[in-house]
Copies of this chain bind each other. A is one copy, B any other.
Amino acid sequence: MQLLLTYDVVTTTPEGRRRLRKMAKLCEGYGHRVQKSVFEIVCDDAELLTLLDGATRIMDASADSVRIYRLPANGFAAVHRLGVAEPVPHTDPLIM
């Protein structure tokens, strides 16, 4: 499935900035960063559960916010992009 993950992490404290870095690193393991706090993710149900678990462990649930939207099948291709937003090749091989 195609998902869009967005997060707000409160970064007014060193601890918050640490959470932000960890959240970004977690999400980078699941998809493509298309904006500072927006990721396009292709995964299955099991991976989504693991992602949700990881995000829950990192975040401060009383301050931060994570939202994960399910997109339609052509969701990444149908996006309106303005400015420096670039299309992301989800089907290309991942260069490690």
Q: Interface residues, chain A, CB within 8 Å of chain B?
A: 4, 6-8, 34-38, 48, 52, 55-56, 59-72, 75, 78-85
Q: What is the CA–CA distance of A62 and B82 in the complex, to the nearest angstrom? A: 10
Chain B residues whose CB sits within 8 angstroms of the CB of A71 once the complex forms: 69-72, 75
A4-B4, A8-B36 given; A83·B69 CB < 8 A: no
Chain B residues whose CB sits within 8 angstroms of the CB of A67 once the complex forms: 34-35, 38, 79-82, 85
Chain B residues whose CB sits within 8 angstroms of the CB of A60 once the complex forms: 83
Closest to A78 in B: B70
- 6 A-B pairs besides A4-B4, A56-B82, A61-B83 with CB distance below 8 A are A60-B83, A65-B82, A67-B81, A68-B79, A69-B75, A70-B75
CB distance from A58 to the nearest CB of B (A): 10
Chain B residues whose CB sits within 8 angstroms of the CB of A85 once the complex forms: 65-67
Chain B residues whose CB sits within 8 angstroms of the CB of A7 once the complex forms: 35
